[in-house]
Amino acid sequence: MTRRFCFIFLLTLGGLLMSADAVIAPLWSDYYLNHLELSKNGNEYYELINTLIGFIKSQHPNLPEEDMKLIIASIMEASEQHGVDPRLIASLIAAESGFRKTAVSRVGARGLTQLMPDKCRDFDWRDIRGNVNRGTEYLRKMMNRFDSVSLALAAYNAGPTRISRNIRNYSWPRETRYYVDRVTVYYNNLRQAKEM
């Protein structure tokens, strides 16, 4: 009897978990659409969303609409939660993965924000919301530690220990210098788009 009950319980739980994706995806779409609808009343927010849409489409023209909605909703939520400019988050994602949620680097970094496996053990790294949130959380941690966006980006890319050792002379690996420049150019362009 106990085995039968455990089996039925696990079967029911498995069914609930399998259907969770079907429930979560529309909720995130609703989050995005509600904010987009509300933003029509507040021009600044509406313009920011439109700027992000244009930027993401320029980086990944074939991105499915549902992924676009989830990415923007996730960026906006992570921005609110961690106090990081959404344009900086989008710039980081563009440089890290080109908005490809299944991107895997040669060193094993994964997902939109290219998290190392030790940073995404407790969730599926392909989950847009989880990956964007964890990447933004880590970026905020680096910003707090180094008190500089460029140093935080360098630490995000090369690791905080390597950057701490070379903080005075900026003798970072070439890849890291290129990465910081690339994210900074994206970020400045997105910020200037707001001012136009």
Write down the catalytic residue from 47, 66, 80, 96.
96
User: Is residue 139 within 8 Å of 93, Cβ to Cβ?
Assistant: no
Q: Which residue has the tokens 């085995």?
A: 3
Cβ pair 99, 83 in contact under 8 A: no
Contact 139, 180 (CB under 8 A): no
* Cα distances (Å, whole numbers) of residue 37 to 30, 41, 96: 10, 8, 30
> Own/partner pairs for 154-163, CB < 8 Å, 24+ apart?
154/179, 154/180, 156/92
CA distances (Å), origin 22, targets 25, 27, 92, 154:
6, 9, 28, 37
Compute the half-sphere exposure of residue 98: CA atoms within 13 Å on the CB side of its CA.
10
**Catalytic residue check, 44:** no
Enzyme catalytic residues = 96
